Amino acid sequence: MKISRNLKIAAIASAIALFAATPASAAVNLTGAGATFPIPLIEACKAGFASATGNTYTYSGGGSGAGRTASDNGIGDVNFSDSAHTASTRLATVIHVPVVAAPIAVMYKLNSSKTLNLSPATVAGIFGGTITMWNDPAIVADNNRTTTVVNFKKDSNGQVVKDKAGKPVVLNTRNVKSYFTLPAKKIIVVYRSDKSGTSGNFTAFLHGMAPAVWTKAGNDTFTTGFPGSLNAVTNLGRIVGASGSAAVSALSGKTLYSITYAEKNYAVSNGLRVANIQNAAGNFQAPDAGGTASFLGAATVDSNGILTFNYATKEAGAYPLGIVSYALVDTKTKNATEVKALLNYILSPKCPSTDPSLEYTTITGPLLAVDVAQIAKIG
């Protein structure tokens, strides 16, 4: 994560005061809409936020497209988008605050308790329609080999321990031999049919790490970013869409031999397994908070708070599908104090530690400095 030294020092100094501040105003019900990606974290932290501040936050989701539209129309206090809203008509007053960080998981439904290993090229082939069978040689090759896995140190609350620079502390690295007998069954692909920042990040990853397979740039609309023809005979009825993370996960959970992408926490409730994804260092990593923090630490960020991911990072434990969700906030909001309190609460370690199993990572180090500097612009 690259930011100016002066900004980093000033922002970190401000963080202490911001996190300690508790608004003394009358109770306010903040509202927002947008990305479904941060919903599990928002829901988990609502009670704590209300208890700490006396204020509430009602979030209706609807997808990143809905969040950007609400922001453009001046509706809501804090809207979310998983991709940068560079086309905003209100950029003069609306800022990006990347306050939520977590992994996108590739989830699947097979009659097996084993964990799949998938390289970026294989994932691109599966979702791009060139790999249509579970026993395809590419999937077989990914899952019958020796792989390297990096494990991160965790504290007593289940949170990943980070050093002073915000980098996750590695507990150990081990080699694992994998064997997986894959079925001779067609792969059913389930994608997000709505305009989604999750799709934008997912397709950007596919193009960034496997451009020869996923030939189009990332796009929030999966069908627009799809590199081939969804109407090809081999894809009809085999590649299907659903709107929202909950819907794609539920559909995949009901469909044997299916695969989809969404927040990791949807896997357990829908009986889905979660794949390990190969990073640029050649290691297969699980979608967890440590791997996400390791990957995001290699990103760059501009003065508007917008991140550019480095898919080529050789950080051994990086999970290359880690993303951030941006809070879109009007700096001229009438509820500036309460909005600041909400964003600071989401950033504080107590929010993600409410339920560590969700695998949202606590933002620390340089990215936290960026967030604090962005929040200071509000009001």
C-beta atoms surrounding 304 within 10 Å: 14
| C-alpha distances out from residue 98 to 48, 81, 315, 343, Å | 20, 9, 22, 10
DSSP 222-246: HHHH-SS-TTSTTTTTTEEEESSHH
Q: Please tell me the predicted confidence (pLDDT) of residue 174.
A: 82
Tell me the per-residue pLDDT of 360-371, one tens digit each, with 9 for 90 and over: 888 888 888 899
Average pLDDT score over residue span 225-231: 94
Average pLDDT score over residue span 314-331: 93
Quick one: how many helices (H) and strands (E) in the chain? 12, 16
For each of the domains in the chain, give its residue range(s) and CATH number, in order of start.
Answer: 5-102+323-375 (3.40.190.10), 104-289 (3.40.190.10)
Per the DSSP assignment, residues forming a β-bridge with 330 are 94
Q: In the structure, what pLDDT confidence band is assigned to residue 26 with cuts at 50, 70 and 90?
A: low
Percent of the chain with pLDDT over 70: 92
Q: Please tell me the predicted confidence (pLDDT) of residue 93.
A: 87
Average pLDDT score over residue span 213-221: 96
End-to-end CA distance of the chain: 27
Residue 342 φ/ψ, nearest 5 degrees: -65, -50
Average pLDDT score over residue span 90-107: 89
Q: Average pLDDT, whole number, for the chain?
A: 89
Tell me the per-residue pLDDT of 285-309, one tens digit each, with 9 for 90 and over: 999 988 998 999 899 988 788 999 9
Cα 37 from Cα 323, distance rounded (Å): 10
**Helix ranges restricted to H, 54-160:** 64-72, 120-128, 137-143
For residue 318, pLDDT over 90 is answered with: yes
Residue 218 φ/ψ, nearest 5 degrees: -60, 145
User: What count of residues does the chain have?
Assistant: 379
Residues 6+ apart with CB under 8 A from 211: none
Contact 35, 200 (CB under 8 A): no
**Stronger pLDDT, 177 or 231, i.e. the higher one:** 231
Single pTM value for the model: 0.84
